[in-house]
A and B are shown apart, each in its own frame.
Chain A
Amino acid sequence: MFHASPWRSDFPAIAALQHQQQTYLDSAATTQKPHALIDAIGQYYAQGAANVHRAQHLPGSLATRAFEASREKVAQWLNASSPEQIVFTHGATSALNLLAYGLAEQFQPGDELVISAAEHHANLLPWQQLAKRRGLSLRVLPLEASGVVDLQAAAQIIGPRTRVLAVSQLSNVFGAWQPLSPLLALARAQGAITVVDGAQGVVHGRHDVEHMQCDFYVFSSHKLYGPDGVGVLYGRREALQKLAHWQFGGEMVHQADYQSASFHPAPLGHEAGTPPIASVIGLGATLDYLSGLDAKAVAEHEAALHAQLLAGLRARSGVQLLGAPQVALASFVVEGVHNADLAHLLTDQGVAVRAGHHCAMPLMKHLGLSGAIRVSLGLYNDSGDLQRFFDALDKSLEILV
């Protein structure tokens, strides 16, 4: 059955890419952008750029208002109780680094940081390096074959020495939702700080950070059909108070002297330097656009396409799925075929998928794989995109096998 996307024409790049004979199936890496965002950024630059939270003049006041309106929209999107709980960073990676530096003073040598084996490098390396700097120990939660964290093992590992639990909500390799509710409960019971990497999860469905009861939630705008260069850090009020200032300069300062200075609390105190103003405004426009969509229709479309993707992959002999994908994407390998060769031939045929280690090298080593191919879906994809992918896959395998 052909599933058309009613939102496809809202994203001009999809038609432009099709003109170049490109089928875009790499939305888990970054997404194409809606007209609403492109217009908002164009308008901001065309009608008068200005720095935020600085000048008294009219352009400065308009830019600041638009910038702060985006903060409110993000707070609403996540159901945070106040926009003051939303810190803008330069990406999800920089938000996670802010946490790993800003929380460092909370820990003593011998304390434990816990992550899962499925983490993207962005939610592994900041904690790994923090552990090295402070003499902490990094514990890694093992996965079940499906790609989700083994909760029994987690209950053994998360203990009185656990100071931080940092896990992704949705794996960028397996497309599987992690059992956040029991995992976060285990960490809370130990008084540990909980960090959820929502880079993939935020794109699929609406998520309520109050209900999730995490201390921090992180996502990047560009995976959520927004501009690149912006990340979001949500923090519970008490949790944000634990976060020390990390980067200095710009309007994060309250009073400054040559020898000492004091700084603003969150969110401004964590937004050193000129923020990515146009991108933050663009993210606000994207959220307006997304809020206007029929969420149920989007979820049904994504589920139908994902089912089609899985069925097609399972129907082909030699194809092995990684884990048990639930949404958005599927990673696979083909027996006897190097993923780099397959990627080469898919690229030759204009199919844009991701090949390699997916920024999760330790995970790939653990799975005994040199890499895998990942097909990931956005709300603009349709069955035609999948058909072109499957045709290209068959043709590639005909040549390689």
Chain B
Amino acid sequence: MTMSPQAQEALKVFTQAAGWEQRARLLMQWGERLEPLGDEQKVEANRVYGCESVVWLVAERQGEHWHFKAASDARMIRGLLALLLVRVQGLESQALRELDLNAWFEQLGLGRQLSPSRSNGLNAVLKRMSELA
């Protein structure tokens, strides 16, 4: 499936990262790239539960394409959200449904973040995204 230039960039830097420490620093950097969420969007309806941190996910439909915004009060999850969004941004519903996001995080070397124990909540975000789209 075709990847946005940003997703290709993410794949490149994360697969080249040497070890957990560099990956952690990269995650924090990528987290800073998240498009900010307005206070009016940080509402209960947009809250994703199942995370140890507070996470919001907003899905907007622009014609056939989905546009997502996300925020969190924790930095590592912000980085994970940013990596998620670069992969799904602008996709159509059909493409979104067919996308294997687990494989995406595996490719990035972040497969552990999808462990079934719910500690970091990325699973909860993916579940919410599939409900929205």
A residues contacting B by CB (< 8 A) are: 338-341, 343-345, 347-349, 355-357, 370-371, 395, 399-400
Contacts and interface: CB of A to CB of B under 8 A. Distances in A.
B74 interface: yes
A355 B54 CA distance: 14
Interface stretch (B20-28, B83-91, B96-104): B20-28
Interface string B79-119: 00000000000000000000000000000000010000001
A341 B52 CA distance: 10
A399 B27 CA distance: 11
Contacts of A341: 74-76
Contacts of B112: 347
Contacts of A355: 52, 119
B123 interface: no
B77 interface: yes
A348 B52 contact: no
A345 B53 contact: no
Interface residues on B, range: 10 to 19
B21 A395 contact: yes
10 contacts: A338-B73, A340-B52, A340-B120, A344-B77, A344-B120, A345-B20, A348-B21, A356-B52, A395-B21, A399-B24
Given A355-B52, A356-B52, A370-B53, A343 B75 contact: no
* Prevailing SS type, chain A contact patch: helix
Shortest 6 CB-CB contacts between residues of A and residues of B: A348-B20, A340-B74, A338-B74, A340-B53, A344-B76, A340-B52
Contact of A349 (B20, B51, B77, B120): B20
Contacts of B23: 348
A371 B24 contact: no
B77 A340 contact: yes
A344 B120 CA distance: 8
B27 to A, nearest CB: 8
B56 to A, nearest CB: 14
Contacts of A356: 52, 119
A349 B54 CA distance: 24
Contacts of A348: 20-21, 23-24
Contacts of B53: 338, 340, 370
